[in-house]
A and B are shown apart, each in its own frame.
Chain A
Amino acid sequence: MNDAAISAALADASAHRRPVALRAGDVFSGMHRRVIDADEIDLRSRRAIREYEPRDLTIAVECGITAAQLEQTLREHRQFLPLDAPNAPQASVGGVLAAAWSGPRRHRYGRPRDLLIGSEFALADGTLARAGGMVVKNVAGYDLSRLFVGSMGSLAILLRANFKALPLPESTRIFLAALPDGTRERAFSQVRNLRPEPAAAWWIAGYDREIDGDPGDDGRIAILLECDNALLERATLDWRAALGRAGIPETRLLDAGAYASFTRLLDAPMHLPGLNALSYRSVSLPSQALALADSIADVIDRFDMHRDLLVDIMNGDVTVRAVGDAASFTHVVGMLDDALHDRAPRARILAGGGEVHDRLDCFGLLPNAFAQMRALKERFDPHGILNPGIAFFDGLHT
């Protein structure tokens, strides 16, 4: 479907009050509710690069393009966009934006929304409009492009996204270390103070299939270094010395495999080993992440479930993947919400196996500006035809 066809389909749907459901990569579907009874608009064929002038470091793409395709195009010109999308060969750029996905490199390069400089979109009544442009600085009018980030396709359909690209780092290296007993706290603060700053850093307990090597008595850490060639060896020496001071005697380096390992770790929370599984993320502050991880582990362990934990050391996200009996998950999530309520109000389900997902409410606490969001929804989609039921601003939650 081209823009005109999407516009016509929406105008028709709007005139007949017929709901539409957007179909793209399906990677983030665990993060929202299922859309109820709607005609599908499939965006997966909309994968064109619309404008790319490498010398401007800007790129415009159709939103159905996958994160992997976009990355490939940019890589040919030694550029990149740190979208950090899980399951990149399938995840669409539109999905990354609509889900407000942000990954472990955000403290360094910003979130996908930070690099978004413009967009074209279709409104519920079929009107095609745009905001921003192809320049890296632009303060003409409201930033509607970013407003749609996190909208889960419930406010408008993003058709085209314009981004500011970044030069690809010359070197990528992953440092893996098993933590000896009792070193976790020190490792955390040492990693956060490393110079040069890590591009990403995780503390991992579990996920044994995603990374090789010794799991460590106190979990293990994986740290991503992205830098100029000229800096690589000196940074390696400095990092190893710093980790040594935190009681971590040995670090393994991954060079050739670094990127693949990084990708596996990005994918891990979204890859559920079966239907009776759940991934849950709480976004907090780096200083609280360890304590949160422990509280989460405590809750899950009470249900005798298998769990894998991933803590984003630089940003504070705690992600847990649990596998167990489907009936227990409602209790698990309820207890997690209670346990984390005050400390990490922004917790949410990332992925849940079929039945597990259906039983759970995938949103944590409502945002404070809920009323404003709902007013926007009512204005932009007065008949509620865009992805009905997908999001909390639909009124289902009140």
Chain B
Amino acid sequence: MLIERLIEALGAEAVKTSPEDLACYSFDAYSQGVLPSAVVLPSSAAQVSAVVKIARDLEEPLIARGSGTGLCGGAAPARAGVVLSFARMNRLLELDVENRRARVAPGLVNLQLSERIASTGFFYAPDPASQRASTIGGNIATNAGGPHCLAYGTTVNHVLALEIVDERGECFTTAVEDLGYDLTALLVGSEGTLGIVTSAWVRLLRIPPTTGVWLAAFPSIESASEAVSAIVGAGIVPTALEMMDATIVRAVESAYAAGYPADAAAVLLVESSGEPEEVASADSAIARIARAHGATKWQAATSTEQREALWRGRKGAAGAIGRIAPNYYTQDVCVPRTRLPEMLATVDEAAKQHGIVVGNVFHAGDGNLHPLLLYDKRDARQVAAVIEIGNIVLARAVELGGTISGEHGVGIEKRNGMSLVYRAEDLAAMANVREIFDPHALLNPEKIFPSGISCREMRT
């Protein structure tokens, strides 16, 4: 019944049902979910709407999916249902350079937007390390961040308006300039649980005239993280301030020869963009602070090639780790920036205690850590240890005034962690919002909320 109706609405070539196809859409970069009942590839908002109406009639869950690069199980079906892949809705729909904005379909791959508009002198700022693969729809649904969010903000700061297909299959639009509640901000980061994004207006920024990239090497991870706190504390906000520890540096060097000093205990990658005078003052101010915190090296990239090489190392860090360990698990927490040294100390201790190798590569300027825990999934002891360390890291982040996810989202992975940060009343307020937008719990069910949370608490 489901399949026939989907085929009738979208045509047979837009509906996938073979076991191999279903298997391909049953997981994301974090986890394996269950097999969906069907996968559809709509080509328009009208088709999305038709699919939603059919699924609703048959009480089938709906799971929106970008490229499946999510790291929290967001796009992995938890209760079968229909997966909506946006692979065919991937166009740049309108480019309005004069007003510095673009309208995009949700399946457009992040990097392609900036590449396509580069000749106009503008770019799209949010740049998750997955930007070669992840889609703008997925980025919106997860409020994705990236190295340059330090200066430019995360996805929510760059979405101007949304077109949404709701749980009934009806379309509505929101805009930041709208009167009334900021539904645009509510929908960004809602992980496909409040509505399905079918297009978005995003902000474009002017490409800065000058960009400087520097590398600083430190004798210890503590001194590097103290330097980060000091840079931000001095009121300097570079465009990016990324940290990598010895494990990552070595992995990256052997994979890409990015030019990182292989003997450093920690490396900071710093980027500053703007007018030449601003970049020059950032250079001298940050170099001074880095040296005062024991940096053994401060090296500027002097050519575009060198700059790109330094960044290639950072952006490819996860891939490089993949070459030295059979499996790795990426944790994602965010703490106030002055608490970075304490947070890193906890990660280090917990890893040592459990005999697990950890590599840290992260958005240091934002206090957003990504410990990569290396393990072998065939070894039950290692799997248990990784889970335990993950929990220790979450709890410590919250204790330090931080949160359980800085950018990867909650999905299925961190549902239960939500109770670490929020009390029942806080979660109930969110659950009320969810119930309004998704009264039948069909939009990406079993995500975000810890099991057993209801909105009853708030009803009078």
Would you call B277 and A234 a contact (CB within 8 A)?
Answer: yes
Q: Which one of B43-51, B52-60, B396-404 is at the interface?
A: B396-404
Would you call A383 and B460 a contact (CB within 8 A)?
Answer: yes
Q: Which residues of B contact A134 (CB under 8 A)?
A: 336, 401
Would you call B336 and A367 a contact (CB within 8 A)?
Answer: no
Q: Contacting A53 at CB < 8 Å: which of B176, B336, B403, B405?
A: B336
**Least Cβ distance of A261 to chain B in Å?**
24
Q: Which one of B301-309, B319-327, B361-369 is at the interface?
A: B361-369
Q: Contacting A146 at CB < 8 Å: which of B177, B182, B425?
A: B182
Would you call B275 and A231 a contact (CB within 8 A)?
Answer: yes
Q: Which one of B80-88, B345-353, B430-438 is at the interface?
A: B430-438
- Given A140-B418, A316-B99, verify A57-B183 contact (CB < 8 Å): no
Q: Which residues of A contact B96 (CB under 8 A)?
A: 285, 287
Closest to A137 in B: B406
Q: Contacting A144 at CB < 8 Å: which of B154, B402, B433?
A: B433
Q: Which one of A18-26, A120-128, A245-253, A267-275 is at the interface?
A: A120-128
Q: Which residues of B contact A391 (CB under 8 A)?
A: 180
Q: Which residues of B contact A348 (CB under 8 A)?
A: 179
B337 within 8 Å of A (CB atoms): yes
Q: Mark out the residues of chain A between 135 and 185 whose CB falls within 8 Å of any chain B CB in the assembled complex.
A: 135-144, 146-151, 155, 166-168
We find that the number of chain A residues with CB closer than 8 angstroms to chain B is 81
A197 to B207, CA, bound (A): 11
Q: Which one of A204-212, A300-308, A369-377 is at the interface?
A: A369-377
Q: Contacting A57 at CB < 8 Å: which of B232, B408, B434?
A: B232
Would you call A138 and B337 a contact (CB within 8 A)?
Answer: no
Q: Which one of B3-11, B31-39, B184-192 is at the interface?
A: B184-192
Residue numbers of A with Cβ under 8 A of B are 14-15, 53-58, 78-79, 100, 107, 110-111, 113-114, 123-125, 127-131, 133-144, 146-151, 155, 166-168, 195-197, 227-228, 230-231, 234-235, 283, 285-287, 316, 346, 348, 363-364, 366-373, 375-376, 379-380, 382-383, 391-393
A–B complex contacts, Cβ < 8 Å, 23 sampled = A55-B230, A55-B232, A57-B237, A100-B179, A113-B182, A123-B429, A127-B458, A129-B425, A137-B366, A138-B334, A138-B405, A142-B190, A143-B143, A143-B156, A143-B185, A143-B186, A196-B275, A227-B275, A228-B277, A235-B275, A368-B172, A372-B183, A376-B436
Residue numbers of B with Cβ under 8 A of A are 96, 98-100, 142-143, 145, 149, 153-154, 156-157, 166, 172-183, 185-186, 188-190, 194, 206, 209, 229-230, 232-233, 235-237, 274-275, 277-278, 280-281, 334-338, 363, 366-368, 401-410, 414, 417-418, 421-423, 425-430, 432-437, 448, 457-460
